[in-house]
Chains A and B, each alone.
Chain A
């Protein structure tokens, strides 16, 4: 066992943090949106060739990727036992011998959060007690978000009461598809009020919105309405997080900050399952928003299987041999 060095309990305290109070509703930024699909695709297609991290840099970036994971279970067959297993993995995502060889024994490496349905918030909070890891709940009629608003707001309040420090809400995609921006704004505003002290991540359901123009416009409304994070997907749409969608949302975050001074975090979710994907996302965030965003206060992966691949890559980094999934404790 490694015990060297003092534990750093809150490595990201004092770093920039979402502090988005939102703004009054305005159609101006929504109408000013221009997104060129082909140009966006070219940008993200060339990124993999423009940026890469190798050796120790790659290992460090992968550790950071772990620290940014919202370790998630959102399945119909979830149970308390399943959530406890997830919480245990969130607290110790890396095998101690690997962490030691990376020279990180003194660092408390955990995932960014654990993300569950409302029903399991309490179980997760209990399992994570003392770890400082926040619990995130998907609490607005996830994944379609079409239950009555009053029900959704009550669910948010219940989750917060159960100890969720982060709430992932889903928007009514109909508002976007019909261009009813005011309704979208009002809905998200109401959710934000219901969140109280909890951080709110707004899921746009980008796969349902289809076009980058829609994604950009919905991002703007979500930020104006006070979202602390904007998030791509529930993981249940036909298409989840993609790099062009990510580019579009990151640029909206950048422009929103330039306009208002407020920081908004970003969370891609669904379909990011390899270490290589994770590195590409991190470099896109660094390129478009800057290094400040590469920490869990401002960036999260919504993922369930990503962690296992990163562990294997890190084992390869420290041993030089290719790893087996069975050599790492499962979530």
Chain B
């Protein structure tokens, strides 16, 4: 085309990024990649490999080694060998390595960007301007945490070897999110990149060599799902961190059940993008571009459900359609392309099928006149209009450049629609009214809320989901607990006690007035649904009383009561603290009675009982104190604005306190949970159960709102399993035997709830072991609200 002709059309023309250096690097791999184990590249013992292709063209770039279980084993051994010395290094020494990695990534940033674009298909604009700079930023930020670990995390220590499995949508960025915090805090890693996108991880491995990272600190094993399985099942691994689909997350949860491995999952999303009538409409339209047409919509937190206030729907959609016409789809190596290639034909097919389903179910399809390149995996930007909340495309994660559009009438309805999903990863709120935007941000059940923005990420700000979008945070201070544990846990500890249960039978009634200990549900004493009771006997065999034998219907009722008590979450921290103090006051007033009860159930002296009551009163005070002090953080990402890291309650928590210390164990688990605004269903100790049934009388007199605390007595293991399987229960704490821990971890896949299963005993009297941040962290999930500002 001549310059004179271009002057007529004023089109953009091609602007190709050179792939010369990237291809030279790929050629240097010699046709088949190697695994990075113990600091050197080696051939996979499995002898297997698979091709990785460039989705923009379908061309095979290179064959990738498929690590088998013996390869994974070698990697774990290398990581285990390296870990103690790595953790023992000073924080400063580790910081220097992370700093070197950050600098190396910056120095080779264009090579990383072009290799990523070739392998993944995302536009060079994104890899160059977003992915790779964020990778470097993540290593810088975590070099800082390595440096500060000794002072800021003085009571915590590394977990050990971490198995990390990452997805194909942000290959190198997800590697950084996993590797940087893990190694900063003294762990070593075995990381598996996604099958479709292994190359930048191998380039990163070369940087580890250049940085002189000690062999074994970072190990990269490429492969498919079987490689991932070998990592998940390897007994030498202390922790699994996974980012990917909710389905695979469930498999990993089930596979690691009972293994004692700690687990964080960053799963799918169906994030709402809410446009109010007072939004900057053009800014919101541009927000949609960044929400769902960023990375071809293959983003777990993509704003894929547009919720638009009815009064501005037509105007907004009109502007959005006009904007879609100017989106450029094409060769991802072109510097003026908005939308590149879908990662793989399999994914492209899934997108096509889901859109077809959407149309079958009544959605109106809108796609712009944009031309698509011949060949390669391309899909146009797409809107599905007039979608109902019940439609498949409203509920299922499409993971493509497809947004659904729905309307709402009021802010309350917007929140209801936004939360009407099994996911809870992110949300975007568009309004120029501060009070409205912040109110909505507070009410959304998700881990990240962007106000007047979308898809903003930073190493200083935690990222992660609520509900079935997973648990655990990556980034910020809140991300550190996922890669550390309390130091005291290193001491030798006994297995948790298994309950010794008397049969359901009739002991002779003792002297005195007969008392019926009931279940406590919705603020009322309830007879058990099944109509059975179980005896409580002293260690010496004396009959102490009978308690109701709860069953699954009692669990259902208790959860329902807890659900209705949702206003507890929004009660002020001061109000919650007052109730905790009031419980303490009323407990102390009955100290003698509780001491006698504990003595009768344990056979210990009354003095010991008085000590336990006193410790329980102190613990209630502790959480009364914490209620308005575990208050989150203000993060400062590199923008004009702040991100508010809010500690929010998990929701409805099932809690099985330890068998031992029937009162102190109960209070130590109950109090942090309700202090942070959770509603709880308690499965109390079976051998010391009467402490719990006496305790509801204390609750009754302490202004605890109905449904905030529910107590179901009975056989704990099956009741805990019911709670684990109940999809309305958001989290479950199990202090008890390992076999039950395994069962409930398997059952928890129902809604991917957070399970805290501890099968070793702790010293409940100790403030270090029985109280404080460890409990508060478990009782909360962090929501980060991004608030850019400026007029």
Contacts and interface: CB of A to CB of B under 8 A. Distances in A.
Nearest to B337: A50
Nearest to A106: B4
A57 B11 contact: yes
Nearest to A58: B13
A144 interface: no
B286 A56 contact: no
Chain A interface helix/strand/loop/mixed: helix
A286 interface: yes
Contact of B336 (A37, A43, A50, A63): A50
B287 A61 contact: no
B129 A49 contact: yes
A124 to B, nearest CB: 26
A162 to B, nearest CB: 32
B8 to A, nearest CB: 9
B58 interface: no
Interface string B252-290: 000000000000000000000000001111111011001
A213 B791 contact: yes
Contacts of B678: none
Contacts of A36: 279-280, 283, 432, 452
A34 B281 contact: yes
Interface in A46-64: 46, 49-57, 59-61, 63-64
Given A49-B128, A57-B6, A38 B278 contact: no
A54 B14 contact: yes
Interface residues of A, number: 40
Contact of A38 (B4, B10, B129, B640): B640
A294 B284 CA distance: 25
B280 A34 contact: yes
Contacts of B129: 46, 49
A76 interface: no
Tier of interface size on chain B: 35 or more
A107 interface: yes
Nearest to B13: A57
A291 B129 CA distance: 26
A102 interface: yes
A43 B335 contact: no
Nearest to B16: A54
B336 A61 contact: no
Contact of A54 (B13, B338, B453, B639): B13
Contact of A63 (B7, B281, B639, B790): B7
A35 interface: yes
B453 A42 contact: yes
A39 B280 contact: yes
Nearest to A317: B3
Given A34-B278, A38-B641, A103 B326 contact: no
Interface string A163-181: 0000000000000000000
B287 A39 contact: yes
B282 A55 contact: no
Interface string B9-40: 11111110000000000000000000000000
B239 interface: no
A211 interface: yes
Given A60-B7, A63-B3, A53 B15 contact: yes
Contacts of B435: none
Nearest to B326: A287
A253 to B, nearest CB: 12
A60 B790 contact: no
Interface in B333-348: 335-336, 338
Contacts of B7: 60, 63-64, 107
A206 B789 CA distance: 20
Contacts of B766: none
A103 B665 CA distance: 87
9 contacts: A34-B279, A42-B453, A51-B336, A53-B15, A53-B336, A57-B13, A63-B7, A64-B10, A102-B3
Interface of A: 34-43, 46, 49-57, 59-61, 63-64, 102-104, 106-107, 211-213, 251, 282-283, 286-287, 291, 294
> Which 4 pairs from chain A and chain B are nearest by CB?
A57-B13, A39-B283, A60-B6, A38-B788
